[in-house]
Each structure stands twice: as C-alpha cells, then as structure tokens.
Chains A and B, each alone.
Chain A
Amino acid sequence: MATSRFVDVELAPPVPVFALTARYREDNHPNKYNLGVGAYRTDEGLPWVLPVVRTVEQQMAADPILNHEYLPVCGLDSFCKASTKLVLGDDASAIAQNRASGVQTLSGTGALRLGAEFLKRCLGMNVMYHSKPTWGNHIGIFQDAGFTDIREYRYWDASTKGLDIKGLLEDLRAAPEDSVVILHACAHNPTGVDPNPSEWEQIMQVVKEKRLFPFFDSAYQGFASGDLDRDAFAVRMFEKADFEMMISQSFSKNFGLYNERTGNLAIVAKDPESLRRVRSQMEKIARPMWSNPPNHGCRIVATVLGNAAFFAEWKDNIRTMSSRISDMRRMLHEKLRQLKTPGNWDHITNQIGMFSFTGLGSKQVDYIINKYHVYLMNNGRINMCAITTGNAEYIASAINDAVSNVTEDPKL
C-alpha cells in the first residue's frame, strides 16, 4: 500500500484522570498515593469487592442452569424493573401507573449516551446544560450523540467552596426551552457539593417554568449518605412533581461492579403509551450500538435487589463504604486543623460522596504531586476513598505545605 490512510491521524490526548494514574504508576517513590480515579478503597488502600457480590457470584458460578444467552435489546427485565424502582421509590406513582421503566445500559456512560442519542434523534434536541464543573465525560457523550450546543450553568462557588445557587438559577432561567439539563442526583462529581432540599425546590421550579428537560445522573445512590432513599431525594422530588425525565443509573460504585458495566436508563413519561413508543425507539438506538447489554453484572444486581437477605447485606456494605468516607473526611479535616492549615476547610466535611473539591489551585496541585508524590487532579479534586487512617496525616501535611507556600494565580 502507498501512503496510509491514517497518516494524518494525530495522537489523541489521554483522558486526564487516566493520564494521572499512568503518571502515578510510573512513579517509583515508596510513599505515593493516587487520589485520582474514582473507585472505592478500603482502609488498607485496596479495591473492595462487596461481600454480597462475591456470595452471589459464587452462587452463579455453581448454578448448572445459568447460561450465556443474549439478553433482550433492552436488557434483563427483572434488573430494569428493580433498578428503576430503586431510584424512583417503591411508592412512585409513575411506577404504579406504568409510566416509568428502564432500559439496561453499559453503566452510567451507556445510559447517558443512549438517552442523549434518543433526545437528539427522536426529539431533535440540541442544547445541553451541564454544571460548571461537571464530570468530564458528560460533554463528550452529548457531543458524540450529536448535540452541538453545549452550555454551562454556574455551580461551584470558589469563594464559599459550596453551591453558587444564585448563578445556577440565573443561568437556567436564561436557558432556551427544550434544553437538556444534566443534574447530579447526589454526590456531585467533581465537587462533592449537593444542593439542599430548598435549593432543589428552586431548581425544580425553574426547570418546570422554562420547560427544560431534566436528565439526572445518579452514579452514587446509597454511596453518598449511606441511605438509598436519602440519596434519591432529588429524583423523587421531581417524580412527585410529575416531571417527565430520564435518570442514568450506575452500579459501578454502590455495587462495586466497575468493570462489569452495569447501568440502567430510567425513563419517566406522562403515560404508558408514550413510554412504550419511547422504549421501542430506544431499542432502535441500542441495537446498532451494542445490540444487547452484558449479562453478568445485571444478574448480580437483580439477584441482590430481589432477595431480602441479600438486599439487607448490600445496604450494610454500602454503609461500610459511605461511613468510611465520612470518617476520612472528618479525619482529614481534623489533621488540617491540627496543622493550623491556612483557610477554612469545612468544605471537606460539608461535601459529600467520593470526591472533594479541595480548592487547591493547579500550581499547588503540581507542587503536591512533585514533592509528595500524592496524585490529584489538576482542578483540585481528590478521591476521598484513597485516604486512609495510614495516610491522612501525610496528605494533610502536603496540603498544608502547598497552601502555606505556593501562591496561586488569583481565581477568575
């Protein structure tokens, strides 16, 4: 062959969080810590397969009847039903009235992508609003689904290290009708800052008034507060107010099923007939993307959600994870206080979920990485799960040093 067709293909930049992990891996320093990728770790700094998941898997491996046949295009029905119920609540009128259902997807990413493709292809939507900041992949997902007008709504308030509710509401009030608004159901990624109930009320009002389309990203139900119902509060508030919406659910964190890619796209419609039509169109989109979803993870989740004893054990496992994270927030906060670290660090304990937006600037981040071999994201995000009783002090001292000695460029 003559010149390659791909001669002009440039080397793509790596996804920042994975580039960070790669740097971490290449580091030979004995005292290194990766506060980048969002996966749960035990106090020993190790991955944790939930005991209830192991039990169910062993059961599955020993089951002579279980096979590997194709799932339907929309996935395992028992999984979709249980999953949709989990987020909307047992008493959701949408479920009772048969106007809510789920389509199984490749975890949260797949749910967002399937939903975005539907909204673009079948409803012609083209404007998407995401929080500033948001999980990086939100943008790529909607872009690849064909959305060309992607906008931000203010969210993170750098001065308070909390929610800029005023800016948020202003931006959404200015949004054109039919804009898709991505809302983080709980444990906002990357900031850890969630609206309180009254703020959710206000957000809901604007979404209703301006006829915006709510698309919830629920990746941490149970994982944030330890309480499944509490973490679904915002979604359920919208459901009770009769919104039509989509909810992307991921079981990566709350079930620890990261690499099994287990997710559900829950859809709430005004009536069962619309829902039926919508599902039929979802099938047409899923089929040329993955044909049908993987069967392993959904079987585990369906089994657990459908069995009282397993369900109780799972809730226990979730509490283990979320309470360890809360403990680490408190510990880090305490260590920073003990070191008399400049500034107010209450946000560490006010924020919730896996991540914390520390407020560290990029220069301070570089300093910490280079001097302490503690790897965190350029935007100051840390994975609280990576903090342990063994390293909290070290990490606190790294933060203290950076904040005390490295001047940041003034925040815009």
Chain B
Amino acid sequence: TMPNSYPALSPEQKKELSDIALRIVAPGKGILAADESVGSMAKRLSQIGVENTEENRRLYRQVLFSADDRVKKCIGGVIFFHETLYQKDDNGIPFVRTIQDKGIVVGIKVDKGVVPLAGTDGETTTQGLDGLSERCAQYKKDGADFAKWRCVLKITERTPSALAILENANVLARYASICQQNGIVPIVEPEILPDGDHDLKRCQYVTEKVLAAVYKALSDHHVYLEGTLLKPNMVTPGHACPIKYTPEEIAMATVTALRRTVPPAVPGVTFLSGGQSEEEASLNLNAINRCPLPRPWALTFSYGRALQASALNAWRGQQDNAGAATEEFIKRAEVNGLAAQGKYEGSGEDGGAAAQSLYIANHAY
C-alpha cells in the first residue's frame, strides 16, 4: 500500500489540472450547466410548448451561447451534453469554439445515468465507467477540459444506506481518477435530493456523512484534489418540510457541513441549484458568501435551471424572442456572479419565472 513510487500524475499533469480548475472558479465566476440530456430537455421544452427535436435543442443552446462579452466576467465554464459538443450555430461555428473564444472553459457530462442498487429502498448508483478513459481522451481532443458526473442520494427513514453512500463515493472516485489521467478536471457531484419532509439539520447530517465518504474515496483512489471541483447540494430542508428557513440559516448549515468535510485543497465548490427558483438560488449563494465562518475554497454556482428558467420562458421557441431570452440569461449570470462574491443586493421584484419554484419531484436528468 505504501509506495508513492507509483504517482498517478506527473507534476506537469497536476499543474494543468490545477490551472483549469482555478480558471473555472476565478473570483466572480461560476458554471452554466447546459448539459441536460435529451430526456431532461424534453421536460424543459414541453413546459414552454416546444417540440423536443435536435434542431430545437440546438436553437435553444444557441440562445444561451450567443450571449455577449458580459458573460466573460461571470461564467468560467459551461457543461455540455455530448450532442451539443458537436453542434454549430447558424453561421456554422461550433458551439465549443464560441465558448472557448470567450475564454470560458468547456466541460462535458460523462455519466450515463442512474441504475438501481438491488436490496435497497429504491437507491441507485451511476453508470458510465466502461470505456470512460477512451471517451475522455476524445473529449479532450474535441475541446473539453472538464467533466461532470452526477450521483444521486435521497433522504428517507432508512436512506441513504451505507451501501449507497459507499458505492456512489467509489464510482465518483473512479470517474475522477480516469478524468485526471486524460487531462480533464472532474467535477464531483454527490447530489442529495431535496425530496422529503426532513428538516435542515437532517440534511446537514446526511451531507456531512456523504461528503466524508466522497473525500475518503478520492484519497483512496489517489485523486489530486487541487485538480477537482465539488458540485454538492446546498444544505436545505426537504421540499415538504413545514419549517421555512432563511438564506442565512441555509448558508450556515451549508458552510458548516463543508468545513467539516471538504479539504482546503479543493479549489472550488460549485453548488447545484436542485429545483430552487432562480432568485432563491442567487440569494442562498449570496448568503453563503457572506457567512461569517472561514471558507478556504471558492463558493460559486453550477446552475442549470436556476440560470435558464427565465431565458427559456422568454424564448418559447420563437426566434424573434431570441435576443430577449439571451438577455434574461445574461441577467441571471451577472446576478450569480455577484452572489459568488457576496455582493448581490437582491432583486426587489417578484418576477414571474424568477421566483417560481422549479422543483420537479425526484428529479433525474
């Protein structure tokens, strides 16, 4: 067990990974998670009455990626779905190039969805390890410098079980190790769903257990922490919990959980929005960045729905609306860029899509 005589990475490989990670979470920047699978996009598009075709998905991503230089200061990375990585805009320019030309790092979702763990109460692990190394090598050639893999855990009377925690932590560590071998920064996402009526403390307890297991697994698998990012849930009550908590309470529970489990070597924590409304996601991130506890990592966003809901709503599949839709996206991006620095003062408006809860029960994408 003992030799460091088999280092997983050379110093040059480590530097490359660390530099990529730091670029993504540079001060004031976060991630646009635009990696919705075909199935997830179906749900989004059906909400605005748009047919789920490859062309519509292309047109929609074009709305986001045609954002002007204002996004350079608040978006450090964009996560793509496989299909999108090879799509082009109306002028034939690959989306990858457009994003890279803005100085934004390109990422790719590499997991292949959840599968059941037999003998558990409906728990899952995530597949996608087979041939992952070859896929990563190809993605790296095709412009991707980071990847994302989502594991899912849920809170009930008896879950997450020890098996679910261990298995998901292990699969995340294997994924992370393989990514790093191929020059790709792994974003490690152990999402604990907000489904349920549990309170804030319960979520905090579970989050601490899950993250401790994740970091032990990463250590066991010789993953270079400085070349990773974490994408966790914020610590929140369950969606059906009758108690309401303020952003400050959420921030305190979240930062406490992270301080107890995430080593300072991790350069950034990029929260998922998990069904929070756009405004909630911004207010909570802002409170996290104003939390009085010392925070040695960047605390920023990796938002899907919470960056796109208003844009999607403004677009509604109409090309005439594209400009306005892009503006909605830029607006949320800038707001979250401020929240990532604790500088967001709040919208003061009860905007329609912004406040509407984006919760979809038992979300899987």
- Chain A partners chain B: no
B interface residues, Cβ below 8 angstroms from A: none
